[in-house]
């Protein structure tokens, strides 16, 4: 079976892994926000996804 997660680091000895589809989500949000509103909005969109991911 393939492993679809990528190691992102360790925090307090716990390995943090990010699923490959999450990277596709970041790419999708960046492209759609950039096309709709420009560069500054794309950064805000990625920040929002990051906040949701960390919560």
3-class secondary structure, 46 = helix
| H-assigned helices in the chain | 20-37, 39-54
Q: Please give the pLDDT value at position 15.
A: 92
Predicted pLDDT of residue 2? 64
CA angle 10, 11, 16 (to 5 degrees): 50
pLDDT tens digits for 1-55?
468 898 889 999 999 888 888 888 888 888 888 888 877 777 788 888 888 877 7
């Amino acid at each position: 079976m393939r492993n679809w997660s990528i190691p992102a680091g360790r925090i307090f000895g716990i390995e943090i892994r990010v699923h490959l589809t999450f990277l596709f989500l970041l790419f999708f949000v960046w492209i759609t926000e950039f096309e709709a509103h420009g560069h500054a909005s794309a950064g805000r969109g990625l920040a929002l996804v990051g906040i949701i991911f960390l919560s």
